[in-house]
Structures are given as structure tokens and as C-alpha cells.
Chain A
Amino acid sequence: MIQTSGLEKIYPGPRLRGPERTKAPRGVVALGGLDLQIRAGEFFGLLGPNGAGKTTTLGILTTRVRPTAGRATVAGADVVSEPARVKRQIGVVPQRPNPDRGLSVRENLLFHAAYFGIGAHQASMRADALLARFELEARARAKVDQLSGGQQQRLMIARALIHEPAVLFLDEPTVGLDPQARLALWEVLRALHAEGRTIVMTTHYMEEAEKLCERVAIIDQGSLLALDTPAALTARAPGGTLLELTLDAPAPEVAETMRALPGVERAEAHDDRLRVHVDRPGERLADLLRAIEREGRRVTHIQLERPSLETLFIALTGRRLQ
């Protein structure tokens, strides 16, 4: 359904001034050669921290960003040379709701349908069905400014569906939603997927990717780090529990000592933090604390994490997702 090969995006850098102006301006690499294949009917996740290149990828696939190099097709149509063909097949839910504020809730759906050449009668029927489905019936005549954040997000999804696209793209759909609205949105997305729609979603919440997506691409700094089912990716995470110990001051030499301790699979120092993968955290903790004390350091915070996409990401990049 979706294919990319060697997809690259370099945003132009700031123009140089003064003595440096003869040098070529250095661009910002948002995407450095991405290869993806997404199957029809798949629920696909792009997971990565802010600035990883997820939104740029979505922008290219939805024809709104011009790639610097490489190729991408959606439903057999090239995003650069046949944008209109691509746009007929896709629905897009933006990161920040951008409804047409000159129009009412229902009109947002009706006019969007009209932009896709859908007749007035059919548009009206679909709009009513979508308003009912997304519990917006009571707000149909309201101005969009009067909607809550969750309602605006649902309106954006309804709008993206009114022309019945084969692929639905969602950019960080649950950012800024309260926990209840987030769970409700998950249910909506599961139902849309169950209807056979291809869904491509970006997120920096690993829990969201784990629970919803059939396959997840982990992206960082414009490149693909790993791509598999959430279960397979979690299995690739370093075994054991991740113990993150925050110290009163950086102590890289402690990591060295810890690697020699029994039960420790991996130990790394990042600034004032020590990240240690151990098999039985309860039993090993005392040894670890003693090792730190011997170096004259003190522990200010301890965090425990089971193997997950998050611990895999940390193992791959040395940084957290958020």
C-alpha cells in the first residue's frame, strides 16, 4: 500500500552572513534515506522522539512535503508526480487540530466532502453518520472554537474519513488529550482498523505504539533504527529489567565496575545516570548500591522498567523517547 525508498528530506538552513556567506548553507537533515513498506490493511506505527523525522515522513506521504531525494508511493501513486491521485486515497489527521474556523462543525465535514467532489446528498448522509459515530451530533451546528480538545480531535478524524479513504494518516493523535479521551480515541482507531483500513500513525508514546500497532518503525534523527512487531521488538530489548539510577554527580567509572557484577547484562553511564540491565533487580540492587557507595557517590533517584519499546530505544540510542 505504501512504499518508500531512500526517502530524504533536507530543510534549507539559515542563510549565512558575513565572512561565511560564500560557504554553502548547511541544511537540516530531517530524513536521511528511509525505506519502508506498509501493507494494505496494516496498522503501522512510526515511533520516535520529537524531531526524529516522523512528521516529515507523514508530510511526504501525504504530498505536503517535497522530498529532497528518494521515492514514495501511496496506493500505487507517486507522491511527487501524482499528488492528486494520492490525495484521493488518503485521509489526514494533523498533529494540532486545524478545522476551518469560518464554518460550523457539520459544515467542516460537508465542505471537505465537496472538495472531494462528493454530491450534496451523499455528503449530508455521511456527515450525519460520522457526527453520530464520533458523538458530535449535539455540537453539529456549533462553531469549532466551542469544542473541547478531544471533540476537535474527533472532528478531525471524522473529516479525514468523509471521503472514505483507503489509508488514514494520524500525526501524534493523542498529544494533549486527557487519559480518558486518549483511551476513547484508541477504541476508535482499533474499530477503523478492524474495518480494513490501512492506518499509519506517528507517536512518541511507546505504550500507544505497543497497544495499537501491528508493526512499529523506530525512527531517530531521520533514520530507521528498527522495524518489527511490538512483540519482536520488545524481545530484542536487552534482557532483564532496566534499573535507572540517578546519582548526585556523574560517575562513568561505576558502570565499568558494575559490568563485572553477577546478573548484570549491560551497564552504561549517561551524565549523572546509570542504566543497568539486570536479571533479578530485587536481589541485585544491594550490590549495585554498594558499588556506587565505594566510588563515593550517592543515589538520588531509582527507576525500574520492564523490557519494552522504551528500553529498546534507550539501548539503541542512549536516550529516552520523551
Chain B
Amino acid sequence: MSDASAVRSAAPVSAWRVLLALLWRDAHVTRRDLAGFLIRTSLQPILFTTVFGFLLPSMGMVQGFYVSSLLPGILALSLSIASLQAVALPMVNDFGFGGEIEDRLLAPVPIELVAHQKVISGTAQGLLTALFVLPLARLIMGPIPGLTLTHAGGALAVLVLGAAAFSALGLWLGTAIPPQRVGLLFSAIIAPMMFFGCAYYPWSGLDRVPLMQKAVLVNPLVYVSEGLRGTLTPDLPHMALRFSIPALVGFTALFWALGIRSFARRAMR
């Protein structure tokens, strides 16, 4: 604790090293509460899968085609909502009453690095959820006609892009919404996004309601659902990947930029 050691500590710190430490912190906190994390992110999609992918087909109330298009949708939904929540909720809390993020904002790097790290961390948590839900959903639904892993690379690309887009959206919403309005995040933003995100039905099916088919295109979840249909069940109707993938790239870039700007505004008084 001498003055000499205080001077030593003034050496520059590599931003990569700090980024790794920040990622390690989030991984550590997630691992500690892994069960809670998975229940939070996976239970709802699994319950939905049980009713619409197992019970209703067993009763003969829905057809096999529906079940096949449901699996990519459920996967898209769990991935996207988990990614969004993984960033938005800690942001609301960290910038809210607790001010817990302050120790990370004092790290000797630009504060934007902390924001980038949150998006990367949220992407990883979304992917973790998807990898947990996929085998479980397949188990509950039984054999799914048309499901193939021949385009696993493409599916992975859609998963990573979808998770990044929704983590970045989480950063934007989590820093832009005042803490006392956090309830609105679920009722006014997440719920409509879930129901009109083509997770529970394929986008092509909306051609019977043309206005709706166009309106849902503002919803990024549509492109995750359709991108996964295009890569996991390529023989079934789906939006062309040449539309869904560029759309996801665009949403990711847009939300990421908005998120970083909003984070910086919130962090610097």
C-alpha cells in the first residue's frame, strides 16, 4: 500500500483483458444460479411445447405440419426473449436503485466497453437457452417430420444473429426505460412481440391476412423464427433466407448502435 505501488498501478490496462474479466463476471453469476436462469428462460417455451406440440397433436386437434413449424418458432422465441431479458433486466436494476454497475463503470476503459460486453454476454445466454430448449422440445414433441440438421451451420448463424439482435434490443430498452416503467416492457413490448413474431405459426400462413403479413415485418422475432424454419425445416414453407438473414444483420446493427448510445447517456450524468 505504499505510494510506489500506487504509481505502479497507473500502467495502462488492456481493454481485452478487462472485457474478459467482465464476461467472466457474468458467466460466474449465471453459473451460480444456472437452475434459476434456465427455469426463467426455458419453462414457458417448454410448457407451450407440451400443450401445442404434444397434447393437442395427441388429441388430433392440430396437424403434423403445425408441429414441424412450431419447433423452430419455439426455439426462436426462447432464444430471443432470453437474450433480451439477460441484458434488459440487469440494466434496469444496475442503473436503478442499486447503482451496482458503478464498479464496472470505474474500470479503466471507455464505458462503452461495458455496454458491448453486456450484449456479448446476453448473446451467449440466449444461445445457452436455445441449446437447452432444442433437445427438450424435440423430446416432448417426438419425431418431427421435415426436421434436419444438414444446415446446422446456417441455423447456428441465425441463432447467433437473433441472440445478438435481441441482446442489443435489451440493452437499448433496459437503459431507455425508467425503472418504474419496467412492467411496461413485458406487457407493451415483449408480449406483442411474442404473439406477432411468427413463432407460433409460419409467416407464409399469414397470406390470408395480407395486412397483418406486412405489419409483422417490423418485428425482429419474425426473422429469427423464419430463419430457423429456413435452416432447420428447409422443405416446409418459410421466408427466403436471403430476406431473413440480412434483416437480422440490419436489426442487430440498429439495436446495437441505439443501445450503446442509450447506455452512454444513462451512464454519464
**Interface positions of A (Cβ within 8 A of B):** 11, 41, 59, 62, 64-66, 75, 83-85, 87-90, 92, 94, 96, 98-103, 107-108, 111-112, 114-117, 159, 161, 163-166, 195-197
| Closest chain A CB from B10 CB (angstroms) | 5
| Closest chain B CB from A68 CB (angstroms) | 11
Please state if B10 and A159 are interface contacts (CB–CB under 8 Å). Answer: no
Find B9's partner among A88, A114, A196 (CB 8 Å cutoff): A88
Find A114's partner among B24, B29, B32, B100 (CB 8 Å cutoff): B24
Please state if A116 and B269 are interface contacts (CB–CB under 8 Å). Answer: no
A83-B110, A102-B29 known; A196 and B21 CB under 8 Å?
Answer: no
| Closest chain A CB from B56 CB (angstroms) | 40
Kindly list chain A residues whose C-beta atoms are within 8 Å of the C-beta of B10.
75, 85, 88-89, 166
* Cα(A96)–Cα(B100), bound, Å: 10
* Cα(A89)–Cα(B5), bound, Å: 11
Q: Which of B40-57 contact A (CB under 8 A)?
A: none
Please state if A111 and B21 are interface contacts (CB–CB under 8 Å). Answer: yes
Please state if A115 and B103 are interface contacts (CB–CB under 8 Å). Answer: yes
Kindly list chain A residues whose C-beta atoms are within 8 Å of the C-beta of B28.
103, 107, 111
CB closest residue in chain A, given B8: A164
Kindly list chain A residues whose C-beta atoms are within 8 Å of the C-beta of B17.
117
| Closest chain A CB from B26 CB (angstroms) | 9
Please state if B2 and A196 are interface contacts (CB–CB under 8 Å). Answer: yes
Interface size on B (CB < 8 Å)? Answer: 38
In the assembled complex, 11 residue pairs joining A and B whose CB atoms fall closer than 8 Å, in A order, are A64-B267, A87-B107, A87-B108, A88-B13, A94-B99, A100-B103, A111-B28, A114-B18, A159-B103, A164-B1, A196-B6
Find B104's partner among A41, A115, A165 (CB 8 Å cutoff): A115
Please state if B2 and A195 are interface contacts (CB–CB under 8 Å). Answer: yes
Kindly list chain B residues whose C-beta atoms are within 8 Å of the C-beta of A117.
13-14, 17-18, 21, 108
* Cα(A195)–Cα(B2), bound, Å: 6
- Apart from A59-B269, A64-B267, A107-B28, 9 more pairs, CB < 8 Å: A66-B268, A84-B12, A84-B110, A85-B108, A89-B10, A114-B21, A115-B18, A161-B1, A166-B9
Please state if B103 and A98 are interface contacts (CB–CB under 8 Å). Answer: yes
A103-B25, A166-B3 known; A64 and B268 CB under 8 Å?
Answer: yes
* Cα(A161)–Cα(B99), bound, Å: 19
Please state if A116 and B103 are interface contacts (CB–CB under 8 Å). Answer: no
B239 within 8 A of A: no
Kindly list chain B residues whose C-beta atoms are within 8 Å of the C-beta of A96.
99
* Cα(A295)–Cα(B78), bound, Å: 79
Please state if A115 and B269 are interface contacts (CB–CB under 8 Å). Answer: no
CB closest residue in chain A, given B114: A115
Kindly list chain A residues whose C-beta atoms are within 8 Å of the C-beta of B5.
164
* Cα(A90)–Cα(B106), bound, Å: 9
Please state if B21 and A98 are interface contacts (CB–CB under 8 Å). Answer: no
Please state if A115 and B100 are interface contacts (CB–CB under 8 Å). Answer: no
B157 within 8 A of A: no
Interface string of B90-122 (1 = CB under 8 A from A): 000000001110111111111100000000000
* Cα(A90)–Cα(B108), bound, Å: 10
| Nearest 8 pairs of A and B residues by beta carbon | A117-B13, A114-B21, A115-B107, A102-B29, A87-B108, A88-B108, A166-B6, A196-B3
